[in-house]
Amino acid sequence: MTTGVLDNPETDVHNHEDPRVSPLAVQTRTLKLVRRVGFIAMGIQLAICIMWSNLLYGRFALTWDFSVYQQAIWEIWHGNLNPPDTVLTGNLWGNSGQAFFWGLAFVTRIYPHGPVLLWTQDIAVVASEAVVFIWAIEILRDRLGPTHSWIPWIGIFVLLVLFLNPWTYWTLSWDVHSEPYGTLFALLAARAMYHERWKSFAVWSFLTLSGGMIECIYGACIGITGIVLGKSRRRPGIVLLVVSVVWFLLLDFVLQAATHLPTPGSVYGYLIRNNGYGNLSLLAIGLGVLRKPGRMIQQFWVERSNIFAVLSAGGLIGVFTKWGFALPVVLIISNVLSRAFAIVAFQNFPVFEFVTVGTVFALAGLILRGGRWKTASIVVILAVLMNSVFWFSIWAPRTPSQWLRTTPQAAAVLDRALHDIPPNAEVVASQGVAGPFSKRVHFYVPLISDWNIPLYGSNVWFVLTSRQGIELAAPSVTYAAIGQLAGPLHARLVAHGSDVWVFDLHRTPNLHWFRTGLSAPEIPGWLAVGPAGRPVLQGPESTWHAGSTGTRGYVVAYAYWGEKAGTYNARVTLNTSGPVNIEVWNTTSNQLVARRTPPPTNGIKTLDFSFYTGAQTPNLAYSGWGPFQILPNEPIDQNVFEVRVWSPGGEKVEVYKIKFG
């Protein structure tokens, strides 16, 4: 028998594996698998987010906010590095000095089509989740030891909390904003501080501050966190805090980056005065609140459901840790007291991510205590997961109804208009469908009271709607504008359908402004066509009207006015060959307020009658269930009333005008 080195079991290491596998090797393989699963899941999530962005863009469900950035980036694409912004009526820099949008302009120039800007935001949001996921595993390995058996399970737990946060998808649905990009850079800066990688910390902090004045708050809060942590992180924290505050002050007072932001008084002045607070400084407001904090406490109580929704979606307990406290608390206070931003959307996106990071620190602390605390950590994990499941199941399905408010039929009319309008023409578009039209020099979005629109060039295109998308202007105001275009200004009606009206206004030399009032005493019947009606637009505009299709139902509907309780008068000009019902509905409460059934007019006549609207009904949107509620919007002191004309069918009905007041 021949023997050799290869026959020696002690030296035959190449042909035989060691049956003893170290716990570290097993854990390393397990964590690699968890990371791989996590990244695959995030890739799927990103694909879904991109498809959702494509749908929003294709359905024209993008508003004023998207238009601000899309127009500015389009201008940068075409060489204007200081883009004037006709949506903001100023320039992009004046919107808090958001410098990194110039960088986005150069990135998106590679593929300057469609929803590419939305895709970059999708990437920023999913990348933020990836940073939280990676950082969470690093925290657990550092705190619990690299071989702890709970690390993979808590990693999966973090993935589920991130994926099941419905407000993340609401963030992506609300146009484009700086917060998702700033959150990504802020997370990377905080993670670099955690690892004490100071060069990376400097780079990510710089990119965070490039987001502008809002992101300076992020930087200041990360600096405060470093100071609280002490030891080697205190000095970098102080530096970042000082730099963030100084840069904020320079942007505000020296570099004029706040010219299009509301003044501190107009946002927070209500906390110390009932009226006349627009010129108050932030210092004066702060001192006033310290003396009389009652109004501030009242506002926190009003918004308590939103505060809980924002914090609990990220795990809640994370806000009680050093890493999850400063930035979430400062942002929530700022947003809640502003009233306008006290909602569960993009303004609070950094809170979701940092609270989740803090939740990981809290769980690691509980596990380290051992004994009963280890059992408590299991209870916390299950409670947080159940909480996330409930938030997601109640609110994620409502995302389409909340944000996708244009019908496919309306989108088809809008798409034809987008392709028919010359690229150099001025466009005025209703805010709910404005986004895709914003790639041009002159582009305007009339809001509630901004109907003083300058007119340029020989032709100006108007794309107006009162019921498609998320509209801020009252329908009666939009109807008045459309009536003015079709009537005195003799604009050419190019296309219409599904409450979308496209006009081409040939501008005369002396026509420099388009103005309309805040209320419309009279609505043309052809603008308020109901399910049993059709617009009759032949002949001169004065003869246009809503005509019956001959079927049973409402010939006219959607003639809306917002009013308080009181006595009002409805006046309808119509021509009928049989009896019809003239009705007034409180659409806020879906209640019939008044109904009249006049005899046939057999000619054009004006009928009017008075009615009393009764007590106000609270004007609140769907708010959720049980503890999983939000306050969608501040209540307003008006109800929405609608005038309708109903026909039993089989008769002639022509409605020319509706007046309410």
DSSP result, 19-80: S---HHHHHHHHHHHHHHHHHHHHHHHHHHHHHHHHHHHHTT---HHHHHHHHHHHHHHTT-
CB atoms within 10 A of CB 35: 16
| Least confident interval from 24-28, 37-41, 288-292, 494-498 | 24-28
Which run of H or E residues covers position 337? helix 326-338
312 located within any domain: no
Query: Same domain for 31 and 148?
Result: yes
Query: Same domain for 587 and 502?
Result: no
Query: Same domain for 514 and 532?
Result: no
Query: Same domain for 569 and 512?
Result: no
508 located within any domain: yes
Two tokens, residue 311: 């914090």
Give the residue from 226, 245, 261 where a domain finishes: 261
| Least confident interval from 9-18, 177-186, 187-196 | 9-18
Q: Is the pTM of this model over 0.85?
A: yes
Query: Same domain for 113 and 245?
Result: yes
Rounded Cα distance, 42 and 126, in Å: 7
Query: Same domain for 51 and 114?
Result: yes
Query: Same domain for 514 and 644?
Result: no
User: SS3 for 483?
Assistant: helix
DSSP 263: P
> pLDDT of 417-439, one tens digit each?
999 999 999 999 999 999 999 99
210 located within any domain: yes
Considering only CA atoms, which of 283, 288, 343 is closest in space to residue 313?
343
Does residue 166 have a pLDDT over 70?
yes
591 located within any domain: yes
Give the residue from 261, 292, 314 where a domain finishes: 261
Two tokens, residue 395: 């609110």
222 located within any domain: yes
**How many residues does the structure list for the chain?**
661
User: SS3 for 604?
Assistant: coil
Q: At a CB cut-off of 8 Å and minimum separation 6, what does 416 contact?
A: 495
Q: Do residues 109 and 139 lie in contact, with contact meaning Cβ atoms separated by under 8 Å? A: no
Query: Same domain for 51 and 121?
Result: yes
Q: At a CB cut-off of 8 Å and minimum separation 6, what does 447 contact?
A: 64, 431, 472, 473
Query: Same domain for 485 and 527?
Result: no
Does residue 107 have a pLDDT over 50?
yes
Query: Same domain for 438 and 489?
Result: yes
Instruction: For the chain, report the end-to-end CA distance as a whole number of angstroms.
Output: 114
Query: Same domain for 110 and 182?
Result: yes
What pLDDT, on the 0 to 100 scale, is given for residue 13?
Answer: 41
Rounded Cα distance, 379 and 367, in Å: 12
Query: Same domain for 111 and 169?
Result: yes
Domain interval for residue 153: 23-61+96-261
Rounded Cα distance, 309 and 112, in Å: 37
What pLDDT, on the 0 to 100 scale, is given for residue 588?
Answer: 80
* Number of structural domains in the chain: 3
Give the residue from 491, 520, 549 where a domain finishes: 520
> pLDDT of 373-409, one tens digit each?
888 889 999 999 999 999 999 999 999 998 999 999 9
Q: Could you give the dihedral angle defined by the CA atoms of residues 268, 274, 277 and 280, in that order, rounded to the nearest 10 degrees?
A: -60
317 located within any domain: no
598 located within any domain: yes
